[in-house]
Chain A
């Protein structure tokens, strides 16, 4: 494959080759004859729906699994990667979605964990360690002191620390599993800059992403995985519709199938002058029945904080919230629910689900009091309701008694949304509803949003995925530093227009970026 992308050095030596690799787990064939090759100085995108086998493949390369059949060649030599140490020795570094950082230790200690430079007496040489860490942090353009405890950093910065750690290993092969899933557009730009530098210096990068627009921007070649098989290898310049078709094996008519209502109905949610000191100020907007209103902005702009205040999770200092004519008491989740609100939180596993409980219990949780008569829960009614909503949402499950933990991300999200359908919510607040969810499941969730709004419900959608927010919203509100700085609709709602508003500084409640990011930081 030559001439795929001008950025690939013509003499790009092959660093890594995977040939016909197969891996089975009890009951499932996770990989079935997968091929992949990685050259020095290229960014190779691994594309596939959740469950297509990407994670298994990279776990194999990082030493967590070993293939049942097939070969892995590093520098042309057949190799068995038995452990993380083996991978490290071969120059393969992996940045997993769940970071491997120790919260209580400093940035420098984390970067050199287990490999701290020693003094002549065998003690940890802190000065050298900090100096070398500082150098690495400069390379990833992370402006924090090496002595900062990792627990004080937000997700974006943790990511950069992970990259610094990979750099410290002098990795020749860098595997990044959805590194952009939690980053804002600005941070993604920084990350891309770093990845391009690494490519220039001859590192081979395997890059996993669900954001198709990132492929052309960063990638050289794309290997598409579907159902554990490598379907094909195509240049990164392949157009998005074609990539989607390859990935799901069928055409998806449109990525964002929003069906706009003929005309919005009566106002369902009316917010005026909503203010919480240090978080957001003077927030005012309306959402009408049948509408999808997007809430765009950088991570830390205060969007999640507004959502939590509306839903009664956090208190607010001033302002009014009116839902369908009712004014739920501030700081009272149950009052907000009675008024018809539902919140699908950004942290699905941490705030949305009882991971080890059954799907039935999860789906009926928000209507537990309605299913209770005289103190006793009508378990049969719960079962009936859960079955109906699971069927409506096409949840792929073995049964209602299956635990939520065992579902894929997309199906988990359907459970959280289904919970609010059963609770009778009329205005759903969706906070990053499709984060980490594959394309097929995303479209199903969008279809659901269409159904809901067609039935007279309304959706307030917070998303850092700009194409999504623009593709699905009827109007977009842009927040920056705790304030709404603009509203865009129709033609004027473009990525550029949103970004311009989002990064503009209204001089509002001060720099909120840091603390808000910690707030959204998961465990």
Chain B
């Protein structure tokens, strides 16, 4: 970080720092947090640990990519943690209990995630339920179905899927790869597809979007279905790391996912958001947890710290927007 190059003439280092943080927002926050952790803990800044951070971020990030779609279109999805658990349970049930081929089991799991999203989406667009309520209902239904299917106990994940939680070439964790791939898909969807552009329009001004010929209701179905699909992928990655599908897995993950999206600079009122921002948001949460673990900070205090970071991130973002106007 070379202040001399970036600083405008006549500005003090303090002003420069404020401006740099405001302008670069989430990325600046991630870098600052990384620097702080590296200074405080000698174990933080080495390749193995950083890959660990990536693995820890992966499930949250994949969930959060899906939630980004929903938040960009001014909705909310509280069901992704439950849907992730449900999808993983369906995969394990199909492959282990029913003996179906693994490929079929995975496709079934992904389909279940997408259908759960479609149902939420239908409740929102055709049933006119607030997204909060519709997805809160799905949160309960998804978790319940996962418990019903599994009878309440974990089901072993098929061995070939266990490799998803492994490393490639002995060092590159597959969850990180999946996270990057899903992030690229999310970025592409948001920036380049009809559905992605429609998400921004609907989130920016739903009435204007409708009056400009966007089929708002159908697009919302797609948005929630995508969120469900991403949740299913996250569920499978999580289960492969744990080597079993646990019906009680990923409880509360929806909140981490929403936090990652918001830390990444998306507005809950819709119309803005980026996959890269969401990735950074998930990484910030993971760096924080990993670093605090290395520093032997108690899990209780970690929760406090996480809450402060969420509040600080959104506060900075609000300031940035205000100064941009």
Q: Do A and B come from one complex?
A: yes
Of the residues A334, A345, A356, A405, contact of B213 by C-beta under 8 Å: A334
Q: How far is the CA of A297 from the CA of B198 in the complex (A)?
A: 36
Min Cβ gap A69→B in Å is: 23
Of the residues A343, A354, A368, A419, contact of B205 by C-beta under 8 Å: A354
* Inter-chain contacts of A311 with B (CB < 8 A): 211
- Judge whether B200 and A355 touch: CB under 8 Å: no
Instruction: Decide: A345 near B211, CB < 8 A? Known: A355-B205, A356-B271, A357-B271.
Output: yes
Instruction: Decide: A361 near B201, CB < 8 A? Known: A350-B207, A375-B194, A377-B192.
Output: yes
- Judge whether B198 and A368 touch: CB under 8 Å: yes
Min Cβ gap A251→B in Å is: 36
Q: How far is the CA of A355 from the CA of B200 in the complex (A)?
A: 11
Min Cβ gap A258→B in Å is: 27
Q: How far is the CA of A352 from the CA of B210 in the complex (A)?
A: 10
Residues of chain A from 504 to 520 with CB closer than 8 A to chain B in the complex: none
Min Cβ gap B239→A in Å is: 30
Instruction: Flag B198-220 by CB within 8 Å of A: 1 or 0 each.
Output: 10110011011111111100000
* Inter-chain contacts of B195 with A (CB < 8 A): 375
- Judge whether A365 and B192 touch: CB under 8 Å: no
User: Does A366 have its Cβ within 8 Å of any Cβ on chain B?
Assistant: yes
User: Does A351 have its Cβ within 8 Å of any Cβ on chain B?
Assistant: yes
* Inter-chain contacts of B197 with A (CB < 8 A): 361, 368, 377
Instruction: Decide: A379 near B204, CB < 8 A? Known: A343-B211, A356-B271, A365-B212.
Output: no
User: Does B240 have its Cβ within 8 Å of any Cβ on chain A?
Assistant: no
Total A-B pairs, Cβ < 8 A: 77
Residues of chain B from 166 to 207 with CB closer than 8 A to chain A in the complex: 191-198, 200-201, 204-205, 207
- Judge whether A313 and B211 touch: CB under 8 Å: yes
User: Does A376 have its Cβ within 8 Å of any Cβ on chain B?
Assistant: yes
- Judge whether A423 and B194 touch: CB under 8 Å: no
User: Does A337 have its Cβ within 8 Å of any Cβ on chain B?
Assistant: yes
Q: How far is the CA of A303 from the CA of B274 in the complex (A)?
A: 41
Chain A residue nearest to B324 (CB atoms) is: A403
Q: How far is the CA of A226 from the CA of B262 in the complex (A)?
A: 43
Residues of chain B from 305 to 325 with CB closer than 8 A to chain A in the complex: 325
User: Does B244 have its Cβ within 8 Å of any Cβ on chain A?
Assistant: no
- Interface, chain B (partner A; CB < 8 A): 191-198, 200-201, 204-205, 207-215, 271-272, 325
Could you list 23 examples of A-B contacts with CB < 8 Å? A313-B211, A333-B210, A334-B213, A334-B215, A345-B211, A350-B205, A351-B205, A352-B211, A353-B208, A354-B200, A354-B209, A356-B271, A356-B272, A357-B201, A361-B201, A365-B208, A368-B197, A368-B213, A369-B194, A375-B194, A376-B194, A377-B193, A423-B212
Given A355-B204, A405-B325, 19 more contacts at CB 8 Å?
A313-B211, A350-B208, A351-B211, A353-B205, A354-B201, A354-B208, A354-B209, A356-B204, A356-B271, A356-B272, A365-B201, A365-B214, A369-B213, A372-B193, A372-B194, A377-B193, A377-B194, A377-B196, A379-B192
